Amino acid sequence: MIEFLKKHKYKIIAAVCALAVLTGAFLAGESLGNNAPAVAKSSTSDTAIVTERTTVSQGKNDSTSPTENSTKATDKGKSKQSTTAPTSATQVNSEQSAVSNQTSKSSSSSSSASSKSSSQITQSSSTKQDKYKTDPIPEGKPEPVEPQEQEITDNTLKCTFSISCAAVLDNMDKLDKSKREIIPDDGWILEPVTVTFNEGESVFDVLKQVCKDNKIQLEFSFTPIYNSSYIEGINNLDEFDCGSLSGWMYEVNDWFPNYGCSRYEVKNGDVIEWQYTCDLGGDIGGYYSVGE
């Protein structure tokens, strides 16, 4: 044992020194360790705090915080509201504009309708019948003269006068059988003849005189609503004897006047023809009231 110690004493001493150094180092390290963990802990805590702050900071930037998300959601909502508001305002403006345009159009249409209505009224005023149901007189044709306003003079004038029932010849199937014997073969009750009359007389006045002079039967009645005499029959050929649309019409200078024979003042040289129609004038070229 002693020899072992002697032989290895330097190693043992070295080992002991090493152990002593290690022990001293251990003890010194433990002494320092009591403080070091606190520092380390503090450092770790600070690191954690820093990390948390960094995270929070990043959270604020990345919108990871629920509160921040809520705030952002609110802000986003506000942003949407802010964005929506102008759109709504635009829509409102558009709607108001549309309403305005519509109102304008409506006003324009109303104005147009009013203008049109006014035009129609003006046109109606210029084309309306007179108090005796007379339509406007064609340009160039004589205006009616009321019987009460006739001024008959002693001045003698001449006109051509005739009475025809030729249209009946084409409608014998419609003619009242009791009237067939009175229909002339050629349709003339009175062939065209020159007659005299006094200035200011009407077609009705001349008809009465002609029928009297030629012993031709004449039947008539006065119609106040038309302020004219209505010719019911000539030579015993009466209205409706040849159908429901048949009757007497008069023509002056190739025109069928649209007012009664008592209101037509005859002029010198006029050509007057009384004609019997079986189709309300359609078969003789006239389309006005029968019998007037």
Residue 119 CA to residue 113 CA, distance in Å, equals 9
Instruction: Dihedral sign for Cα 59, 61, 66, 68, please.
Output: positive
> CB within 8 A of 169, min separation 6: which ones?
183, 187
Total Cβ atoms within 10 A of residue 201: 19
Beta-bridge partner residues of 161: 193, 272
Averaged pLDDT, 222-246 = 97
Residue 56 CA to residue 69 CA, distance in Å, equals 12
Share of the chain above pLDDT 70, in %: 57
Averaged pLDDT, 239-267 = 97
Residue 144 CA to residue 140 CA, distance in Å, equals 13
Q: Locate tokens 């709607």: which residue?
A: 95
Residue 292 CA to residue 258 CA, distance in Å, equals 9
Asked if 249 and 288 touch (Cβ cutoff 8 Å), the reply is: yes
CATH of region 147-277: 2.170.130.30
Averaged pLDDT, 253-272 = 97
How does residue 133 score in pLDDT terms, banded at 50, 70 and 90?
confident
Is the pLDDT higher at 46 or at 186? 186
Asked if 218 and 236 touch (Cβ cutoff 8 Å), the reply is: no
Q: In what order do the strands lie in the sheet with 271-277?
A: 188-198, 156-164, 271-277, 247-252
Residue 11 CA to residue 208 CA, distance in Å, equals 182
β-pairing, 188-198 vs 156-164, is: antiparallel
Share of the chain above pLDDT 90, in %: 53
pLDDT of amino acid 20: 72
Average predicted confidence (pLDDT) for the chain: 74
Helix (H/G/I), strand (E/B), else coil: 216: coil
Beta-bridge partner residues of 229: 222
**Token duo for residue 40:** 């380390």
Asked if 195 and 185 touch (Cβ cutoff 8 Å), the reply is: no
> CB within 8 A of 239, min separation 6: which ones?
232, 233, 246, 247, 248, 290, 291
Range among 56-70, 249-263, 277-291 rated most confident:
249-263
List pLDDT tens digits, range 136-172. 999 999 999 999 999 999 999 999 999 999 999 999 9
Residue 166 CA to residue 11 CA, distance in Å, equals 174
β-pairing, 156-164 vs 271-277, is: parallel
pLDDT of amino acid 6: 54
Tell me the one-letter amino acid at 162: S
